Chains A and B, each alone.
Chain A
Amino acid sequence: MPATMNPSTSRIQVRPSTEREGRKDYISIRDYGFWYGQKKALDAISLDIPERQVVAFIGPSGCGKSTLLRNLNRMNDLVDGISHEGNITINGRSIYDPGLEVISLRRRVGMVFQKSNPFPKSVYENVVFALRVMGVRDRSTLDEACETSLRKAALWDEVKDRLQDSALGLSGGQMQRLCIARAIANRPEILLMDEPCSALDPIATGKIEELIHELKEQFTIVIVTHSMQQAARVSDRTAFFYLGKQIEYDTTEKIFMNPSQAQTEAYISGRFG
């Protein structure tokens, strides 16, 4: 394919980065390396994620995007034989601080997975799950949290009459939005999204992207995506990874319009990966 003919870049429209008030190094990753057993999956990652902004992780398959994302709420603790070097702090506090309980970390850092994974429970119970495990019993609190989260996830109107029905009866897109509603029900500070739209049609994808725009008023969002257009549409900053290394991290505008690394340029223009 000739380098000049590059339809994907020409179509990409970058939303001007909106700088909001907030800590610039809200999440701070410093010289971070990570191993699955003997295999080094991440190497020398250093980046700061500002408060209430959307940061996109892009890069070819297997480059370690999910690994980094899943380390932000220590989901990788489930894997045997892992180890790390360097540090990650959230709002100044290390996530590996022995005094910090993993559970309380995960309550502050919500997560939406690539494949929607609703519980085999009612829609209502799915949304309020995080509150229930925190010990909230009060019915009106739960009802209210359920409604606000479903509204924020743009799902309320579709499911308000079937809150007690099984969540497994929803469509794929509805399920994914339900998972988002579930992740934000206990008002985390950070929302991690691992390819949240990869199984969705363009309309559902559009809804979720819309949602991300609204959610970033309140949450700091980290999103992994394979779609350049999506990264460009939703994110304020973008990090490009390759083979476990952080190649470039900058504002989305800069990455897509004027990347400083040749590898980034090649990946974005689709000549690579």
Chain B
Amino acid sequence: MASSSDSNTPRGEAWVWFTGLGLIIGLGMVIGLLSLVFVNGVTVFWAPPVPVAQIDDGRTVIGQLAQRRIRAGSLANAPQYERQYQVGLRELNGNSYLWVDEAKVKAETFPADVLGLERVEHGPAFVRPQALRKSDGKVIPITDPAFESALQAEVSAAVVVREKFEEITRHRIGEVNREMDEARVALRRAEDLKLADEIPVRRRQIDGLEERFVILKAEAQKVVNSGAVATLDSKDAAGRAVVIPLTQIVRAWFPNRLDTWGRTQLFASRLGEFIFHEPREANTEGGLMPAIFGTLVMTVFMSLLVTPFGVITAIYLREYAQNGPILRIVRISVNNLAGVPSIVFGVFGLGFFVYVLGGSIDQLFFSDQLKYNNNTPVFGTGGLLWCSLTLALMTLPVVIVATEEALSAVPRGMREASLASGASKWQTIRDILLPASAPGILTGVILAMARGAGEVAPLMLVGVVKLAPTLPFDTVAPFLHMDRKFMHLGFHVYDLGFQSPDSDAARPMVFATTLLLIALVVTLNIGAIWIRNRLRARFKGAAF
């Protein structure tokens, strides 16, 4: 007995520490990654004070501090820094960003009259306003206490006008264009087939649409004309006069005057735009609504496709297939499918889904479209449906394996009880096995969703684009257009990070978009986990 205490001394304690170390490294990496993305992503929308910097060489710079880094070539024990200011006014300065040697910055002041502007074109601007020339001819100088409220009122008015204009040009004219395309195809077909009845009908339809187009154009022009002709007279850092029409301004703020509440409001407004609006300026500004929507719809569709496929396959493999070498080979193949690089699925999706399946669908159901519309494919090109299918195929093994596992984890007694009650095999599967393994199946679906939502490479081949003119969902029947190309957050990150003409301007958006993508995946997963826990609660109970 005495020796037993010796032999109980845990010899492997060092290994416990070792495994703990592994966990800590892993956790550290995850937390580091998340906080990096979070901090960089969130601060994009925060408006800090904007300095006016006097530089040794006599220049003056007005700009928001974007980055600070150690100058290349400076000594390690006496590091010298350089700062990057976002100065804006790209049309004047040539570049929105400016690197300045920190040692050369003589003085930084934060005058209250520095104005930050987000603009429709040419990116942001930081200026010192002089006067506001209102549309009714009145001039309000910067010294007038009413300047700021008048400016904000004019900006809001301009925003309303612009939104109206966008609504007409982008959506209503777009709709007319679409109808026009269809009508033209129909006319060409009617002429080709010599359908004497239809030709005049189509002609009249096209005339009607052309009329509507002209009316809408005029309406858009009227909206523009009705809008503010107000301008903002200001000076840039060098003292040059800059006249900015208010129709160009999206948002205006005095970065050195704002209190915390004001900054928070500005933050919320920018974040709101980011989530709910469409992108501007080659995707580097504005919102990501189409990409969020596209990612969401594609992921949901993928899950809806992969779940039944995976579950049915797993039921067959586990419940019906004869045990033997063939079944083993099938299982091994399924498991290996999970290890195939995702781009391979993209190639397969393009080769099989898009060209073979989509091509056949076009031949069968849209042959008129092909013949009379310059061979423009409908389903024979990348689109939402093919993306969902490709990712469904890619995530299939996850669902199959999870379902098989869940089915085999159902206690044998339950299966026997059902069969002994006179249930058929199918009734047993449907009424007992599937409900009992639903939480396990959902776990598989969650994993599949997490993998699918973050996948980019295959999507680039089968239907994701940088800028989609329309959402895959609208008010025209059949409402959900599975054939349309769409935008995707993951691809957006890639596009911003690597394809953007202005990499400095794109950098903060990369982080913000990444953060959004992570948030979306997490939200989807939380939703699925919530459903799973509710299912689990139903099956939990006090067994003895």
**Is B123 part of the contact surface with A, judged by Cβ < 8 Å?**
no
**Is B544 part of the contact surface with A, judged by Cβ < 8 Å?**
yes
Which of chain B's residues have a CB closer than 8 A to the CB of A106? 419-422
Q: A103-B424, A168-B542 are in contact. Are A75 and B413 (CB under 8 A)?
A: no
Q: Closest residue to A109 on the B side, CB-wise?
A: B420
* Residue of B419, B422, B435, B538 touching A104 (CB-CB under 8 A): B422
Which of chain B's residues have a CB closer than 8 A to the CB of A240? none
Asked if residues B323 and A129 are in contact (CB atoms below 8 Å), the reply is: no
Report Cα–Cα, A42/B424, bound state, in Å. Answer: 27
* Residue of A111, A129, A167 touching B541 (CB-CB under 8 A): A167
Report Cα–Cα, A254/B127, bound state, in Å. Answer: 111
- Nearest 5 CB-CB pairings of A with B: A168-B541, A117-B413, A172-B544, A107-B422, A111-B420
**Is A78 part of the contact surface with B, judged by Cβ < 8 Å?**
yes
Which residues of A pack against B, CB within 8 Å?
Answer: 73, 75, 78, 80, 103-104, 106-107, 110-111, 113, 115, 117-121, 129-130, 132-134, 166-169, 171-172, 175, 179, 182-183, 186, 199
Asked if residues A199 and B544 are in contact (CB atoms below 8 Å), the reply is: yes
Report Cα–Cα, A166/B421, bound state, in Å. Answer: 19
Asked if residues A186 and B411 are in contact (CB atoms below 8 Å), the reply is: no
Q: A120-B541, A133-B427, A171-B544 are in contact. Are A115 and B413 (CB under 8 A)?
A: yes
Report Cα–Cα, A111/B435, bound state, in Å. Answer: 23
Which of chain B's residues have a CB closer than 8 A to the CB of A179? 417
Asked if residues A103 and B422 are in contact (CB atoms below 8 Å), the reply is: yes
Which of chain A's residues have a CB closer than 8 A to the CB of B422? 103-104, 106-107, 130, 133-134, 186
* Residue of A103, A104, A119 touching B414 (CB-CB under 8 A): A119
**Is B365 part of the contact surface with A, judged by Cβ < 8 Å?**
no
Q: Closest residue to A77 on the B side, CB-wise?
A: B419
Q: A117-B411, A171-B544 are in contact. Are A129 and B421 (CB under 8 A)?
A: yes
Of B323, B422, B542, chain A has the most CB atoms within 10 Å of the CB of B422
**Is B539 part of the contact surface with A, judged by Cβ < 8 Å?**
yes
Q: A75-B419, A78-B416, A133-B422 are in contact. Are A119 and B432 (CB under 8 A)?
A: yes
Report Cα–Cα, A128/B416, bound state, in Å. Answer: 16
Which of chain B's residues have a CB closer than 8 A to the CB of A133? 418, 421-424, 427, 431
* Residue of B411, B420, B427, B543 touching A75 (CB-CB under 8 A): B420
Q: A133-B423, A183-B420 are in contact. Are A80 and B323 (CB under 8 A)?
A: yes
Of A106, A110, A172, chain B has the most CB atoms within 10 Å of the CB of A106
* Residue of A73, A121, A169 touching B542 (CB-CB under 8 A): A169
Interchain nearest-CB distance for B419 vs A (Å): 7
Which of chain A's residues have a CB closer than 8 A to the CB of B424? 103, 133
A-B contact pairs, 17 of them (CB 8 A): A75-B420, A78-B416, A103-B424, A106-B421, A106-B422, A117-B417, A119-B417, A120-B538, A129-B418, A133-B421, A133-B422, A133-B431, A168-B543, A171-B542, A171-B544, A182-B417, A183-B421
* Residue of B420, B423, B435, B544 touching A120 (CB-CB under 8 A): B435
* Residue of A78, A115, A132 touching B419 (CB-CB under 8 A): A78
Q: A75-B419, A133-B421, A183-B420 are in contact. Are A117 and B414 (CB under 8 A)?
A: yes
Report Cα–Cα, A133/B420, bound state, in Å. Answer: 11
Which residues of B pack against A, CB within 8 Å?
Answer: 323, 411, 413-424, 427, 431-432, 435-436, 538-544
Interchain nearest-CB distance for B383 vs A (Å): 41
Which of chain A's residues have a CB closer than 8 A to the CB of B415? 78
Q: Told that A78-B415, A106-B422, A168-B540 touch, could you supply 11 new A-B pairs with CB distance under 8 A?
A: A75-B420, A117-B413, A117-B414, A118-B417, A167-B541, A168-B542, A168-B543, A171-B544, A179-B417, A183-B420, A183-B421
Report Cα–Cα, A73/B424, bound state, in Å. Answer: 14
Report Cα–Cα, A121/B539, bound state, in Å. Answer: 8
Interchain nearest-CB distance for A146 vs B (Å): 14
Which of chain B's residues have a CB closer than 8 A to the CB of A120? 414, 435-436, 538-539, 541
Report Cα–Cα, A19/B542, bound state, in Å. Answer: 42
Report Cα–Cα, A213/B349, bound state, in Å. Answer: 67
Asked if residues A166 and B419 are in contact (CB atoms below 8 Å), the reply is: no
Interchain nearest-CB distance for B422 vs A (Å): 4
Q: Closest residue to B322 on the A side, CB-wise?
A: A80
Which of chain A's residues have a CB closer than 8 A to the CB of B432? 119
Asked if residues A129 and B416 are in contact (CB atoms below 8 Å), the reply is: no
Report Cα–Cα, A251/B78, bound state, in Å. Answer: 104
Q: Closest residue to A125 on the B side, CB-wise?
A: B431
Interchain nearest-CB distance for A187 vs B (Å): 11
Q: Closest residue to B428 on the A side, CB-wise?
A: A133
Q: Closest residue to B421 on the A side, CB-wise?
A: A130
